[in-house]
Structure 1
């Protein structure tokens, strides 16, 4: 069949709904005479606000490409490429109701089913040129490209010739692809030693020996532009980092002329984040925190650069930073002041609402339908407990919330189940609540889940209410402010278990 003309093609658009955050959009280009499908496009519309802080995990569950933050575009019939069909079918997506003015289309030009490396590069360059012709521009120096339907978006003022190139293109290491490990070790001895070891006296002695033989050896950049201190930090090789700092690599700490465009400290930060993302995405939870070696390296480099380290003692720094605290004020290194405040507000709201629902109980009888109570908290009690929700059970449940409020109000307390258990001991109804199978976790589940729903990861109602209030805005900001998953795990809410609302 000869290549179709654009006037010979009609388009069909459909969509398939998956999870709340995802719409799978399909477009077919159909030859009007033969009714053959001559091209297809598949795109995913992703509503990040519905991922609730689990964006990486959610994407990984769909496809590998989505895990790399991309929109997957494929053409079944390469025979028709270059006839204007690719441009037209992409235009159909942009003009459809699935793409709004405020949306951003992302793509990752990467040929599929091409095994020859030379051919792969050739096709990728053609794909990149195609997307640029349409109006896509590179996101920073990454492999990804973005397009805004908004004609006033600044990206539309960037000419194709002015679009950024991928940093890796300026550092061609293809000449070293065929080198053996022995050849690479001879060419970059310090890089190889640091990369393939975890430290020890042998590494220290070897680095010093190379330095004594040639002082410039500790500053040599490999084909990708990385110096030994870059490698030492990426590997969190503490002994190598200490030795290189002692020998003098201050100038190298400022260098970012490499395939990733990062300074040594930025490279360490990216490696730490990558390890965390891997654990949270593929293993389901980040249960070990940042390693002592990673944080020791971070501490040493920050001190060398004259940057603040929060606690000035290394062991205190490791304890404070282990779970990602960046403000220096997180209780236990994981509960930030802003998270503490929003949980306190939610606990107080539940406690107040429950007070007004006590009148809904009949003496000596369980509530006929606890899910109908207007407190929202009762929906976090599992169904097998509903027959036990007497008024005294309910009062005990409320007492647990009251204990949580006391714990959150006191910054000197180490928040957790043991503390809440101690604070609730002797309170009215608590023994009845626990005796019937009630748990502290049900209250913690209710508080954290509702706080998540009202945060910027959900509706944003909490920020709308509190952002301009001194009680909230004067609290220190921290990377841990929206780490609900971490907070829930630290409170004993196993992510592998089924939690409410039921």
Structure 2
């Protein structure tokens, strides 16, 4: 029997407090409409969580917050770290410390822009972040309740009849809803994001049934978000819905928002044995290392220098991530082709990209923790390392481009010569 989704509604959560005797009393409804809580835990967030009711019965909930970014200038990462690790990871991945959308995700030229439909508009104003869509009544899952509830939630943020947004005077209009693919964890009964599962671990599950489940879950998650107008933010694990119906993401067909998964790779059960040079480079810290490591690089077979692990990382990637200039120079001296080797994850990082990301992550962490930026010799070391690797990468790219142009000219000349002979 088909569900009557016309009875579906979203209602604010009740605020439950304790009286002087310790007994619970209901003081009203907590929610976006009235903001009754006089002392919210985080004044830069507005809790807009809603219960999902069907025929008057609570069957689930949508947990979400509005992030008042305009109040977080210069402290975005540190403040987003306070409520949860999920919000912190989200903030650091997509935004800088001022809450501005990172350049590498901005289309169409950003290295991680993906389809390129999101741009600097994601740097402005408040936005909503959905942490969970949970259909608690198991028998109602996969029957369209979640989709219908999410549509109601979007209507709650935008009055569909008048086109006027339903805002409290304390808030700026929300232009985007964002979420992680873990949002549907409860419905799919998974402990992590299905997309993250593939991007972070491309190896197939040992159990064929588990692998089939993993792929089926990913397809269901993508279908859910695509059908609700969400599109993937660059090559990240996050999705966004634009309130503006004319936004480029709203015009992108869902079959064009493809997810190119990395090819399955068998994982190594013993990285130290299977990738000894990778292992040594990855476990050398603080810019200092045993000089014997340079001898290992010099004496290793070329096949080891060029070997990529299960995620596409070469020894040069490892050295770049640690910002070890002597090791980087030694590896490039053995083989230059790895300068343009890309990882197999969604980011497809070159060694130079990885170095820049590690530097940025380090600076973001220090800033979020209230620590001063890297100074002195350590900073000079990182800057010198990045400058050298950037120069050599540009040289290699230029050489590869010239070679491709020469090959194309050769093919055209050959074709023209063949035509003359036939005449």
Q: Is this a same-fold pair by TM over 0.5?
A: yes
User: How far, CA to CA, are the matches of 2:215 and 2:65 in structure 1?
Assistant: 25
Partner of 1:27: 50
Pairwise CA distance, 1:130:
0.4
Report the Cα distance in structure 2 between the residues aligned to 1:294 and 1:121, rounded to whole angstroms.
Answer: 40
- State the alpha-carbon separation in 1 of the partners of residues 342 and 72 from structure 2: 33
**CA distance, structure 1, for counterparts of residue 134 and residue 2 of structure 2:** 14
Q: 1:93 maps to which residue? A: 153
Query: Match of 1:39?
Result: 60
Offset at residue 246 of structure 1 (A) = 2.5
The yes-or-no answer on 1:105 pairing with 2:177 is: yes
Q: Tell whether 2:295 aligns with 1:205.
A: yes
1:114 and 2:190 correspond = yes
2:133 aligned residue (49, 56, 74): 74
Structure number with the bigger relative contact order (C-alpha 8 A, sep ≥ 6) is: 2
Match of 1:273 among 354, 357, 360: 360
CA distance in 2, matches of 1:303, 1:148: 39
Larger radius of gyration: 1
The structural deviation recorded for 1:237 is 2.6
- Deviation, 1:256, is 3.0
Deviations along 1:410-460, whole A, 9 cap, x unmatched? xxxxxxxxxxxxxxxxxxxxxxxxxxxxxxxxxxxxxxxxxxxxxxxxxxx
Please state if 1:149 is matched with 2:246. no
Deviations 1:292-332 (A, max 9, x none): 5433321321343469xxxxxxxxxxxxxxxxxxxxxxxxx
Q: Which of these residues, 156, 167, 172, is aligned with residue 264 of structure 2?
A: 172
Q: How far apart are residue 284 of structure 1 and its match? A: 3.1
Aligned position for 1:84:
144
**DSSP 3-state at the match of 1:300:** helix
CA distance, structure 2, for counterparts of residue 287 and residue 38 of structure 1? 49
Rounded Cα–Cα distance in structure 2 between residues aligned with 1:243 and 1:216? 15
CA contact (8 A) 1:203 1:239 kept: no
Q: State the distance in 2 between where 1:104 and 1:36 align.
A: 29
Q: TM-score, normalised by structure 1?
A: 0.53
Alignment of 1:210-225 (within 5 A): 210=300, 214-225=301-312
Return the TM-score normalized by structure 2: 0.62
Distance 1:120 1:27, change over 3 A: farther
Aligned to 2:201: none
Residue 302 of structure 1 aligns with which residue?
Answer: 390
Where in structure 1 do 4 or more consecutive aligned residues deviate above 4 Å? 98-102, 119-122, 289-293
Is 2:227 the partner of 1:228? no
CA distance in structure 1 between the aligned counterparts of 2:140 and 2:257, rounded to whole angstroms: 27
Shift of 1:288: 3.7
| Partner residue of 1:55 out of 65, 71, 76 | 76
Q: How many angstroms does 1:161 deviate by?
A: 1.8
Aligned 8 A contact 1:136 1:145 in 2: yes
Q: Retained in 1: the 8 A contact 2:332–2:339?
A: no
2:8 matched residue in structure 1: 9
Please name the residue that 1:189 is paired with.
Answer: 276
Deviations 1:42-71 (A, max 9, x none): 111112121112111111111222113253
Partners of 1:273 and 1:258 lie apart in 2 by: 21
Query: Aligned-pair distance for 1:122?
Result: 4.3
SS at match of 1:58: helix
Ranges in structure 2 where 5+ consecutive residues have no aligned partner: 13-30, 91-128, 160-164, 166-172, 193-204, 396-423
2:330 corresponding residue in structure 1 = 243
Alpha carbon RMSD of aligned pairs, Å?
A: 2.8
Q: Cα–Cα, structure 1 residues 120 and 293, in superposed 2: closer, same or farther, change >3 Å?
A: farther
Q: Extract unaligned runs of 5+ from structure 1.
A: 308-502
Deviation per CA, 1:235-291: give whole Å up to 9, x if none.
Answer: 223331121133242x3223335312122111111111112222333x332454464
Counting strand residues as a fraction of each chain, which structure ranks higher? 2
Equivalent pair of 1:140/1:164 in contact (CA under 8 Å): no
Q: Which has the higher helix share?
A: 1
